[in-house]
Amino acid sequence: MPAASSKPRPRRVPRFRYQNDDSASDEDFEEYLIAKTRPARAARRVRTYRESSDDDISDSSAVETDSSQESRLPNTQSQTIVRPHRPKRKPLAVPSRKRDVPNKRPKIQPSHSVRKSADVVAGASKPSTHARIPPWQTLPYFVLVNIMQYAAYPLYGPLSRQQPSINWLCTTGSLCRSFHDACMATLLYSPPLYPLQRARGLVTLLKQEQDHRGPLSTSFRSKIRYLDIEVKHLLAKKGGISLDDLIPLTPQLQGIRLYSNYDDMTTVIWAQPESKKVRWTYPLDLITHLERNNVVLRSFDWNGRFPNTTDVLKEAMAAHSRPSFKHLHDLTFLNLTLPEKTEKADIASARSFLAVALKSLLALRSLCFRNCGMVDQITMPMLPPGLLRLELTNCSHLTSEVLEGYLSSAGHGLQSLILNNNQSMDLGFMANLKSLCPSLQRLEIDMVYIDPSWWHDRDPLFDELLPKGPPTWPSQLITISIENMRQLTAAAAEKFFTSLVDASEDLPFLKKLSLKVILKDASWRDRAKMRQNWMPVFENVFLNKDKPSNIVSKTLSSRRSASVSQRQSTRIANGRLKELSMSENSDESDAPTPKIAQARCDVVDLIISDQRPAETQYRENDFLDSEPSDDEEYRE
pLDDT digits (tens, 9 = 90+) for 261-306: 888 766 665 555 544 556 788 988 899 999 999 999 999 999 998 8
How many Å apart are CA 632 and CA 636, to the nearest integer?
A: 6
Average pLDDT over residues 577-586: 42
Average pLDDT over residues 66-74: 44
Q: Of 169-173, 509-513, 534-538, 618-622, which range is least confident?
A: 618-622
Whether pLDDT at 334 is above 50: yes
C-alpha dihedral over 262, 263, 269, 275, to 10 degrees?
60
Q: CB count, 10 Å around CB of 142?
A: 10
pLDDT tier for residue 624 given thresholds of 50, 70 and 90: confident
Whether cis (ω within 30° of 0) applies to the bond prior to 248 is no
| Higher local confidence (pLDDT), 9 or 168 | 168
| Higher local confidence (pLDDT), 140 or 54 | 140
pLDDT tier for residue 520 given thresholds of 50, 70 and 90: confident
Cβ pair 263, 303 in contact under 8 A: yes
What pLDDT digit, counting tens, does each position of 459-469 carry?
A: 888 999 999 99
How many Å apart are CA 128 and CA 630, to the nearest integer?
A: 23
* Buried-state track 448-468, b at ≥16 Cβ within 10 A, e below 16: bbbebeeeebeebebeebbee
Whether pLDDT at 617 is above 60: yes
pLDDT tier for residue 77 given thresholds of 50, 70 and 90: very low
How many Å apart are CA 574 and CA 372, to the nearest integer?
A: 69
* 399 burial type by CB count under 10 A (0-12 exposed, 13-18 middle, 19+ buried): buried
The separation between the first and the last C-alpha atoms of the chain, rounded to the nearest angstrom, is 86
Q: Of 19-28, 144-153, 477-486, 543-552, which range is least confident?
A: 19-28
Average pLDDT over residues 538-544: 94
**Across 126-140, 388-402, 448-462, which has the greatest mean pLDDT?**
388-402
pLDDT > 90: percent of the chain: 47
- Which residue from 281, 185, 201 is spatially nearest to 241, judged by alpha carbons? 201
- Which residue from 410, 407, 408, 402 is spatially nearest to 386, judged by alpha carbons? 410
Could you give the residue ranges of the DSSP H alpha helices within 50-133? Answer: 60-70, 112-125
Phi, psi of 300 (to 5 degrees): -155, 150
Q: Given this model, what pLDDT does residue 440 score?
A: 97
Cβ pair 352, 378 in contact under 8 A: no
pLDDT tier for residue 8 given thresholds of 50, 70 and 90: low
Q: HEC string of 54-66?
A: CCCCCCHHHHHHH
Whether pLDDT at 325 is above 60: yes
Q: HEC string of 508-530?
A: CCCCEEEEEEEECCCCHHHHHHH
Whether pLDDT at 27 is above 70: no
pLDDT tier for residue 341 given thresholds of 50, 70 and 90: confident
Cβ pair 333, 373 in contact under 8 A: no
pLDDT tier for residue 11 given thresholds of 50, 70 and 90: low
What pLDDT digit, counting tens, does each position of 170-221 carry?
A: 999 999 999 999 999 999 999 999 888 899 999 998 988 777 665 666 788 8
- Which residue from 497, 485, 488, 502 is spatially nearest to 535, judged by alpha carbons? 497
How many Å apart are CA 435 and CA 419, to the nearest integer?
A: 18
Whether pLDDT at 536 is above 60: yes
Whether pLDDT at 533 is above 80: yes
Cβ pair 482, 445 in contact under 8 A: yes
Cβ pair 494, 460 in contact under 8 A: no
Whether pLDDT at 582 is above 50: no
User: What is the Rg, in whole angstroms, of the alpha carbon atoms belonging to the chain?
Assistant: 41
Average pLDDT over residues 453-463: 73
Cβ pair 213, 252 in contact under 8 A: no
Average pLDDT over residues 117-146: 69
Cβ pair 432, 469 in contact under 8 A: no
Whether pLDDT at 250 is above 60: yes
